[in-house]
Structure 1
Amino acid sequence: MTPVALAIFDIDGVVRDVGGSYRRAIADTVEYFTLGSWRPSLADIDQLKAEGTWNNDWKASQELIYRYANRYGQPIDPNLSYEQIVDFFQKRYRGPDPDDPAQWTGYITQEPLLLSSAYLQSLSQSGMPWGFFSGATRGSAEYVLKNRLGLTDPVLVAMEDAPSKPDPTGLISTVRQIEQRHPEALGQPVIYAGDTVGDLQTVAAAAVKFPSRQWIGVGILPPHAQADADYQAAYAQKLRDAGAAIVIPQVQDLTPERIRSLLG
């Protein structure tokens, strides 16, 4: 079957719900290193990520800590290092032994899945090869793709493989890896589904770099953004403002038929 488009997915907030895991770990980390003075809400974290440059949750945690200190004149331990922030975060997110996936007991084990392997199979059967580009670490991303979804060898570009979004390098690398497996897909339109402003800005940056190709950003509303109608509307508008062609409540609404309709 001749491919009609390449479908690429972010992972956090798209493949898995991270409202009670990654974002909970951010809040835990900030609360700990501000000595219990401040625990950022999901809305606080969303506001930071809407700036488009805080895809890395370790750096997002660090930024929130220092913004709080600057705003309220709160002293921060001068010896506080980025490595300490990462270590604390990882032990909350993965568990006390963050380097051994077989021993993970942290928040990562509790993440609800938002996408099924059957959905991915439906894309393949419709001529839409797929892959993943995520700011998550490779270990974390492979945990959900392989352990939870049962995928054997998915195309994956993770944090260690490319600069942070909105730099388009990782997205372009994902496209090239898919094309290596599916040479018949060379030059076909690219759909990238993500839940943050940075994700959509990445698509726009790829379009600037390779304008002869069709790049389409699809905004996905993460579960925590759907709890309140006004907040959902505001969140969706930010994704549209960042370039989303459409915004949908969950990734599996991006059916093969809907993808074809986006191609024009």
Structure 2
Amino acid sequence: MTTLKSRIKSGSRLAIAVFDIDGVIRDVSGSYRRAIADTVEHFTAGVYRPSSVEIDHLKSEGLWNNDWDASRELIYRHFEQRGQARSQVALDYDNLIAFFNARYRGADPNHWTGYICDEPLLLNPNYLEYLTSADILWGFFSGATRNEALYALSKRLGLPAPALVAMEDAPGKPDPTGLLAVVNQLQQQHQIEQPLPTIYVGDTVADMYTVKAAKTLHPDRTWVGVGVLPPHVQETAERREAYQQTLKKAGAAQVFSNVEQITPEQIQQLV
């Protein structure tokens, strides 16, 4: 096998690493997920507030990457369990989004003071520089809105112009369009014609399903799904193990506790 040092010395590119943001780059257990719980509680008149485990169970279905949709689905299921059809639930989606955003971003759309301001970061910019020095290209594909994604990437991490596909730019996961777009952007930017091996690093079932879909559409490229355990599932060994098995069952080749554990050496082994 070609060693990492020889790959770098020869100037050849090793791989492309694309990262999800929420649960991978920043801890959203006290922000996005808290906003989901707040929203569901509000629109069920305080009767039902989903637990973190219940939100994880919904996300494990692989269909609810959009947190507005996830909130609405939990609300609908709450009323269905009480014998009320979805068509009978007076739920305005725009009002739901406005409420959610007021919690996550804050009441003033031009000056954010909400939960987003207190999200712990899960990596240091030096990690990305480390990947660059190893000839690994990197970018981001996230279900967050572009402004919310850039809040973490540019304002918090100081990345000037990251390769990013966000909610407004592509269909939601597990549709692979956004992942493919980031990969194509990086290859064009660096004038690379041959399809580089690509890993996608995410923390949800939808992320792993996205890799599977990309592999089906473009089997000429090596695609690898890599899981990262979000902080909120690492509180107990039992929950950690269950979440890890869920990601592996969804297609993760390997699961890490933190994104910075995915070193250039690990990436070479994966691809």
On whether the aligned pair clears a TM of 0.5, the verdict is yes
Q: Which of residues 216, 219, 239 in structure 2 aligns to 1:231? A: 239
Aligned-pair CA distance for 1:75: 8.7
Matched, 1:25 2:25: no
Matched, 1:88 2:74: no
Q: Which of residues 207, 217, 231 in structure 2 aligns to 1:209? A: 217
Cα offsets for 1:118-149 (capped at 9, x unmatched):
00000000010100000000010001000000
Q: What TM-score results when the alignment is normalised by the length of structure 1?
A: 0.96
Q: Take 1:196 and 1:250, find their aligned partners in 2: how far apart are those partners? A: 14
Corresponding residue number in structure 2 for 1:259: 267
> Unpaired runs of 5+ in structure 2?
1-10
Contact 1:3 1:128 in 2 (8 A): yes
Contact 1:7 1:128 in 2 (8 A): yes
Contact 2:79 2:89 in 1 (8 A): no
Corresponding residue number in structure 1 for 2:5: none
Cα offsets for 1:139-192 (capped at 9, x unmatched):
100010000000000000000000010011010001011111112374110010
Paired letter, 2:101 = Q
Contact 1:30 1:62 in 2 (8 A): yes
> Secondary structure of the residue that 1:184 maps to in structure 2?
coil
Q: Take 2:85 and 2:19, find their aligned partners in 1: how far apart are those partners? A: 40
Corresponding residue number in structure 2 for 1:160: 168
> Secondary structure of the residue that 2:34 maps to in structure 1?
helix
Name whichever of 181-190 and 143-152 sits farther off. 181-190
Q: Take 1:127 and 1:80, find their aligned partners in 2: how far apart are those partners? A: 49
Q: Take 1:31 and 1:249, find their aligned partners in 2: how far apart are those partners? A: 31
Aligned-pair CA distance for 1:47: 0.3
Q: Take 2:53 and 2:27, find their aligned partners in 1: how far apart are those partners? A: 16
Identify if the C-alpha distance between structure 1 residues 208 and 171 changes in structure 2 by more than 3 Å, giving closer, same or farther: same
Q: Which of residues 42, 46, 50 in structure 2 aligns to 1:40? A: 50
> Unpaired runs of 5+ in structure 1?
none
Q: Take 1:185 and 1:236, find their aligned partners in 2: how far apart are those partners? A: 35
Q: Take 1:38 and 1:172, find their aligned partners in 2: how far apart are those partners? A: 38
Contact 2:62 2:174 in 1 (8 A): yes
Paired letter, 1:155 = A
Identify if the C-alpha distance between structure 1 residues 89 and 142 changes in structure 2 by more than 3 Å, giving closer, same or farther: same
Matched, 1:136 2:144: yes
Equivalence map 1:48-87=2 (5 Å): 48-73=58-83, 78-87=89-98
Q: What TM-score results when the alignment is normalised by the length of structure 2?
A: 0.94
Contact 2:19 2:140 in 1 (8 A): yes
Contact 1:3 1:185 in 2 (8 A): no
Identify if the C-alpha distance between structure 1 residues 14 and 82 changes in structure 2 by more than 3 Å, giving closer, same or farther: same
Aligned-pair CA distance for 1:211: 0.6
Matched, 1:112 2:123: no
Aligned-pair CA distance for 1:78: 4.5
Q: Take 1:240 and 1:83, find their aligned partners in 2: how far apart are those partners? A: 36
Q: Take 1:186 and 1:147, find their aligned partners in 2: how far apart are those partners? A: 33
Matched, 1:11 2:21: yes
Aligned-pair CA distance for 1:79: 3.9
State the percentage of identical aligned residues. 57
> Secondary structure of the residue that 2:179 maps to in structure 1?
helix
Contact 1:11 1:132 in 2 (8 A): yes
Q: Take 1:43 and 1:137, find their aligned partners in 2: how far apart are those partners? A: 24
Q: Take 1:222 and 1:6, find their aligned partners in 2: how far apart are those partners? A: 22
RMSD: 1.3
